[in-house]
Amino acid sequence: MSSFRPVDEQMAYLRKGSVEIIRESDLRERLEKSFQSGKPLRVKVGFDPTAPDLHLGHTVVIRKLKHFQDMGHTVIFLIGDGTGLIGDPTGRNVTRPPLTREQLNANAETYKAQVFKILDAEKTEVRYNTEWLFKLDYEAFVRLAAKFTVSQMLEREDFSKRFNEEKPISVHELLYPMMQGYDSVALECDVELGGTEQKFNLLMGRKLQADYGQQPQIVLTMPLLEGLDGERKMSKSYDNYIGIMEAPQEMFGKLMSISDNLMWRYYELLTDLTLPEIEKMRGDIAAGELHPMRAKKDLAKRIVADFHSLAEADQAEENWAKQFQKDEVPENLEVVEIEAATVGTLSDGIVNINLGKVIANAGLADSNSDAQRKIKAGSLKIDGESYKELYLQVSIPAERVIRVGRKMKKVYLR
């Protein structure tokens, strides 16, 4: 008897949240063969270690890899330390700055620690594409490159746009889709996962596998997760992200800031709730049987617990309620120490502090000018009282609880 779940059950689980499966009939056929033979499919997702931290946007495709793992299949987390030397040109209108091997290796180590918050480490095959890319000799590389044309590469929207705008495209960038495609040949993949923006590169894997006499992989694409603003994709560049290594309190607070509409998107892509379960929650809210705030708290708790623990998620919820619903000061509120002389003028133990500088130094605003805008807008509270003045006189040492919008810290002036 097969150890795999029934194929219909697997298909329903794997479809959840996906944008496109190329081709769905092929996936069903391979799952049926796997079910009958007891041989798991080989499924991969690749990440170039071009930055040290992952955010929730990255986890959408990693969670789908976990779904395959849950179904009993072999999952491969591929670290693109070789392709990372080129830099993925997807979505770029300029050439990506190159990273050194030392930078890539350092980032790769942090990736392993982070992905195993989602994947089962003992059941995950971690590979590096330098294992085969750096072993390609000159003849093999030329034969590989001969399988593609420049016109094929220019079918990519980002390359085509740069070409038409007469912006430079480096030759090594044209090689990137080819090298990613060769990863699938080297690993003999049955399925490759990626974001919708990766479709061109994923299809290169199908083409190359056929050229090398392998059965072409199934391509499963996942959507790009919207960031906290609900408009642009989650990205550090847009400062609308939630890092998976962020503290529980920070993570919980950011999740509570999203819109009610975006909440359902996060439920679908960042939790294991089934679509019928999510639809029931939506129905309960429409019927007045469930408050949207309760649903959002449950979402935040689920996600925080995934990356930390249930106890820490419970504590984060309690602290959030104290801070934003009861206007209380959480017990473990972050303390920031600031030298009084750096934020004001000192005379006889009295300091005339510039609150804009205090707020910026405490990390409650992005800059002094941003802090001043927040003060003028009435977002500043000190020990529970609103302040719209830029300067305040205090005796030092002094300790104040400062809140700017949804952020709160205890500031110690010395």
- Where along the chain do the CATH 3.40.50.620 domains lie? 7-238
- Strand ranges across the sheet with 407-413: 335-338, 407-413, 398-404, 380-382, 385-386
Q: What integer pLDDT is reported at residue 1 of this predicted model?
A: 46
Q: What mean pLDDT comes out for the span 8-15?
A: 93
Q: What CATH number belongs to 248-325?
A: 1.10.240.10
Q: What CATH number belongs to 7-238?
A: 3.40.50.620
Task: Note whether 258 and 407 are within 8 A (CB).
Answer: no
- Where along the chain do the CATH 3.10.290.10 domains lie? 335-413
CA 246 to chain centre: 12
Answer yes or no: pTM beyond 0.75: yes
- Where along the chain do the CATH 1.10.240.10 domains lie? 248-325
Mean pLDDT, the chain, rounded, equals 89
* Per-residue pLDDT tens over the stretch 200-218: 999 999 999 999 999 999 9
Q: How confident is the model at residue 379 (pLDDT cuts 50, 70, 90)?
A: confident
- Report the alpha-carbon distance of residue 228 to residue 132 in Å, rounded: 39
Least confident stretch, 135-139, 256-260, 283-287, 353-357: 353-357
CATH superfamily, domain 335-413, is RNA-binding S4 domain (3.10.290.10)
Task: Note whether 353 and 283 are within 8 A (CB).
Answer: no
* Per-residue pLDDT tens over the stretch 131-161: 999 999 999 999 999 998 888 888 877 788 8
Nearest Cα to Cα of residue 254 among 196, 212, 307, 206: 307
- Report the alpha-carbon distance of residue 336 to residue 156 in Å, rounded: 48
* Per-residue pLDDT tens over the stretch 304-357: 999 999 999 999 999 888 777 666 676 677 888 888 888 888 777 777 888 888
Q: What integer pLDDT is reported at residue 282 of this predicted model?
A: 93
**Structure-model confidence comparison of residues 368 and 300, the more confident one:** 300
